[in-house]
């Protein structure tokens, strides 16, 4: 068999946390190199399952014991992960995972970085990101204009409208990143093509790790609506405002306060503890805890984002 026909299986983890109003991802960071998600090869002899292999690599690289973990997708595009020799001697197929945890002390050469550092166009909490109108839409208009034929131009125009047009869909994180990649608006496009960088929005990651992270964000934003995964990221007790801010941070949207609290109550997601948290101003806020019984009581006990309110969109 030709060595170039070999396939190597890698394991990558997008480990997500949220502290206050900052959603973050744990990255491996070496001086002079782009950030990377924790990753390592799958060893079919040493690792009983893919997930056990992932947990072993993550433990070694980050000193974290993963809690909630789910498989995302298998990433196998040709050229997605060049070998150290650069000769493409083995095709690397990576199985991506989403893991949720609360922040702890990171290991050497790892750090928590806000995920909007990599995707600044995804944060609509305060206003529509200015870069959409100043940089993204003008470049995408040229991308449509430069299409090789009328049919391709129409397909590109439709993608632009779906991703960045009216009616922002917070779950289309991967679709937006892939559109920006194809239009030459992110550094990875030029790196993969071996060309000088002309325009780079957001911060690049090694290999196709920003694509894996985009997939993880999209999955988590969608899952918020029908599974109570946000509580995997919360302290054992929390105020309703802290819960709302965490959901807003992950979704990249502001939510209507009263509607959000009504939804949480109607879904039976939380219960009061009878204790109160001191606040810097105003009245003390009651502390709540997640009601795990809701997993048995309801088929889809999530936080529907129909209670959203986007300002200055």
| CA-closest candidate to residue 97, choices 47, 53, 46, 147 | 53
pLDDT tens digits along 263-277? 898 889 999 999 998
Helix axes 150-164, 173-182, angle to 10 degrees: 140
228-307 to CATH, choices 1.10.3720.10, 3.30.300.30, 1.10.150.120, 1.10.10.10: 1.10.10.10
82 token code pair: 């060049």
Tell me the C-alpha to C-alpha distance, in Å, between residue 212 and each of 97, 201, 208, 217: 9, 17, 7, 9
pLDDT tens digits along 178-213? 999 999 999 999 999 999 999 899 999 999 999 999
Residue pair 122/116 in contact (Cβ under 8 Å)? The answer is yes
Average per-residue pLDDT for the chain? 88
Residue pair 295/228 in contact (Cβ under 8 Å)? The answer is yes
For the segment 26-45, the average pLDDT, to the nearest whole number, is: 89
Burial class (CB in 10 A: 0-12, 13-18, 19+), 110: buried
For the segment 68-82, the average pLDDT, to the nearest whole number, is: 75
85 pLDDT exceeds 60?
no
Instruction: Give the pLDDT score at 4.
Output: 54
100 token code pair: 């949720």
pLDDT tens digits along 91-119? 778 899 999 998 877 778 899 999 999 99
For the segment 115-125, the average pLDDT, to the nearest whole number, is: 98
pLDDT tens digits along 19-31? 989 999 999 988 8
45 token code pair: 């002899």
Instruction: Give the pLDDT score at 81.
Output: 52
68 pLDDT exceeds 70?
yes
Instruction: Give the pLDDT score at 303.
Output: 75
For the segment 18-44, the average pLDDT, to the nearest whole number, is: 91
Confidence bin at 262 (pLDDT 50/70/90): very high
Q: Looking at per-residue confidence, does 71 or 310 come out higher?
A: 71
CATH 1.10.10.10 occupies which residues in the chain? Answer: 228-307
Instruction: Give the pLDDT score at 86.
Output: 45
197 token code pair: 């960088």
Residue pair 217/121 in contact (Cβ under 8 Å)? The answer is no
167 pLDDT exceeds 50?
yes
For residue 10, the cross-strand partners are 41, 94
Confidence bin at 79 (pLDDT 50/70/90): low
For the segment 36-59, the average pLDDT, to the nearest whole number, is: 88
State the CATH class of domain 3-114.
Answer: alpha beta
């Amino acid at each position: 068999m030709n060595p170039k026909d070999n396939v190597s299986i890698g394991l990558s983890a997008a480990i997500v946390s949220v502290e206050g109003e900052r959603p973050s991802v744990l990255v491996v960071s070496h001086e002079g190199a782009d950030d990377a998600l924790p990753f390592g090869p799958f060893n079919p002899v040493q690792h009983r399952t893919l997930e056990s292999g992932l947990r072993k690599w993550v433990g070694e690289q980050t000193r974290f014991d993963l809690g909630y973990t789910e498989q995302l997708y298998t990433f196998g595009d040709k050229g997605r992960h060049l070998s150290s020799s650069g000769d493409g001697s083995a095709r690397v197929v990576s199985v991506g995972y989403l893991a949720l945890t609360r922040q702890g002390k990171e290991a050497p050469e790892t750090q928590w970085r806000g995920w909007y550092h990599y995707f600044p166009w995804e944060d609509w909490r305060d206003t529509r990101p200015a870069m959409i109108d100043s940089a993204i839409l003008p470049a995408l208009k040229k991308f449509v204009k430069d299409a090789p034929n009328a049919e391709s131009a129409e397909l590109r125009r439709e993608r632009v409208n779906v991703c960045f047009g009216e009616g922002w869909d917070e779950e289309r994180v991967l679709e937006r990143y892939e559109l920006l990649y194809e239009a030459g608006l992110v550094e990875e496009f030029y790196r993969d093509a071996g060309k000088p960088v002309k325009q780079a929005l957001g911060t690049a990651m090694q290999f196709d790790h920003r694509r894996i992270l985009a997939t993880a964000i999209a999955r988590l934003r969608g899952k918020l609506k029908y599974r109570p995964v946000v509580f995997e990221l919360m302290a054992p007790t929390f105020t309703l405002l802290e819960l709302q801010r965490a959901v807003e941070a992950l979704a990249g949207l502001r939510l209507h306060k009263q509607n959000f609290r009504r939804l949480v109550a109607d879904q039976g997601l939380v219960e009061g503890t009878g204790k109160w948290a001191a606040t810097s101003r105003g009245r003390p806020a009651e502390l709540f805890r997640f009601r795990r019984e809701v997993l048995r009581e309801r088929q889809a006990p999530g936080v529907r984002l129909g209670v959203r309110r986007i300002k200055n969109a």
